[in-house]
Amino acid sequence: MVSLVSFFHGHRLRYLNQSECWKAVSAPVSSHWVTEFKQHEHRIFSQNGEDGVLLWIFANIGTFHQPPRFVELGVENSQQCNTRFLREYLGWQGLMMNGGNENLAVNLHREKISPKNINDLLAKYKTPVVIDLLSVDVDVDVYFVWKSILQANRFHARVVVIEFNYEVPANENRVVNPYQDSRRLTGTSFFGAGILALAALGRAHGYTLVYGEQNGVNLFFVQKCLLVQQGVLEDVPSIEKLHVSKPIKRDRDELRSTVAQLQNLNENPDDDNDSDTDNFDELRIDADGLICNNDGTGFFSFGDGTALLNDRVGHFTDWV
């Protein structure tokens, strides 16, 4: 822990004024820093190596606010999360929200987060228009919560950390159907979004995927313009190289059994399981070409991921 603090202060963050919120520092610590994440993964309070990765990013691009500002969604009790080290040891300030815990001493608020209400919640707690870091770990709805923030265009993060589903192959653009209450089951691979879905969403709004930590839990995005300014955009590895896949060996019968359970739950939902995504009139291809109507249950897909990144959208297919 001491070595990380020393490193961070040794490469003292250069704060940027109001007119330069989307600018990176002119001289990064390393001219090829976007290829050097793996060696900087360190875990202190984060679930995996996110602590070290975030320090490496901000040591190279600088921060906007003084003190730097963050928002973290989905932190449990805030003891193990992506921003605790920044807050406790480096003086960062920010907002945390979680559905089941509250600790006002560290600005952790109990809120049920959904795509429908996320922007109003950020406004409720007076989130700055520009923040240095956004971390999203709300499991099943990560894609749609981030998409809601991006499309509202009210709050802007220079760096985004977001959970993904490593079991979705890197060439398949899939997310969980937000209509299904069954998506809220835990303990299965039925959750969240694949790397390509999130990469395409970020790309459509000016973000570049720069890293996926080695345990296959979180992806790291940086504003593309920052990478362009430093001349490192071309060094960013491909999605295929960034994808960490640790497939769980499950036979076909087990997979179909899981799907049957999910479908049964969807047909007989718990009366208390209220969905905040009912306001989605329909799923369709939007201006970004990122989502369209669902033709079945479970995961839905845009077809070939390469086609999506070339701004062509394929047809949906069921995951199982």
Give all domains of the chain, ordered by start, each with its CATH number.
2-242 (3.40.50)
Tell me 25's DSSP state. Answer: P
32 Cβ partners below 8 Å, 6+ apart? 232, 235
Strands, E assignment, 53-103: 69-73, 93-98
Tell me the per-residue pLDDT of 150-164, one tens digit each, with 9 for 90 and over: 999 999 999 999 999
User: What is the rounded distance in angstroms from the CA atom of residue 47 to the CA atom of residue 200?
Assistant: 25
CA count, 13 A, side-chain hemisphere, 307:
10
* Proportion of the chain above pLDDT 90, given as a percent: 50
Evaluate whether 228 touches 148 at the Cβ level (below 8 Å): no
Confidence of residue 12 (pLDDT cuts 50, 70, 90): very low
Q: Which residues contact 291 (CB under 8 A, 6 or more apart)?
A: 147, 175, 283, 284, 285
pLDDT tens digits, one per residue of 120-145: 999 999 999 999 999 999 877 899 99
- What predicted TM-score, i.e. pTM, was given to this entire model? 0.73
Helix %, strand %, coil % of the chain (to 5): 35, 20, 50
Outline where DSSP puts E strands in 21-118: 69-73, 93-98, 108-110
